[in-house]
Amino acid sequence: MIPKGAFLKVVDNSGAKLAQVIGSYGHIGQFAGIGNVVKVAIKEAKGDKVPAGTMKKAVIVETKYPTHRKNGSHFQYMRNSCVLLSDKGTPVGNRIRSLLSYEFFKPRWKRLSVLGKRMF
């Protein structure tokens, strides 16, 4: 349940640390959830690959608000985080510090899912 203006922790090794949601892509509505692509502004960054102040696309990978699966189960994480994407939709970093959920098993996120170790 990530609204516009929310701060997300960046969990890949692109260099960025904190990103703020400034918009969404597609018909998401008021809140974005796991698997939604959002437009973010990088607030804190380490290094030069993605400097602070730039705008990028990102996909939300963890939310504190419970995500509902069609089999009836719910799961939640400890924080809200995202992974930065390029304009085309491919991940910027090459390692992800997060346990991805099966929402990223879809072929759309093939590039992203191989960066993690296993899926929950």
Partner 1 sequence: MRLEKCWFCSSTIYPGHGIAFVRNDATVFRFCRSKCHKNFKMKRNPRKVRWTKAYRKLAGKELAEDATFELERRRNRPEKYDREVVTKTVKAMQRIEQIRVRRQERFYEKRMQNAKAQQKAADKAQLEKEIHLIKAPAGIRKEKEKLRVAAEERMQE
Residue with smaller CB distance to partner 1, 24 or 98: 98
Q: Which of 5, 26, 48, 73 binds partner 1 (CB under 8 A)?
A: 73
The type of residue at 78 is M
At 51, list the tokens.
């400097």
Q: Binding of partner 1 at residue 105 (CB under 8 A)?
A: no
Q: Binding of partner 1 at residue 76 (CB under 8 A)?
A: yes
Instruction: Determine how many CB atoms are found less than 10 A away from the CB of residue 32.
Output: 27
At 35, list the tokens.
């698997």
Residues whose CB falls within 8 Å of the CB of residue 101, separated by 6 or more in sequence, listed in order: 34, 61, 67, 75, 119, 120
Q: Which of 3, 29, 47, 66 binds partner 1 (CB under 8 A)?
A: 66
Q: Binding of partner 1 at residue 5 (CB under 8 A)?
A: no
**Tell me, what DSSP letter sits at residue 69?**
P
Which range touches partner 1 (CB under 8 A), out of 12-20, 31-39, 76-84, 87-95? 76-84
What is the rounded distance in angstroms from the CA atom of residue 87 to the CA atom of residue 26? 14
Which range touches partner 1 (CB under 8 A), out of 14-22, 31-39, 48-56, 64-72? 64-72
**Tell me, what DSSP letter sits at residue 100?**
B
Site of interaction with partner 1 (CB under 8 A): 62, 66, 71-79, 98-99, 101, 120
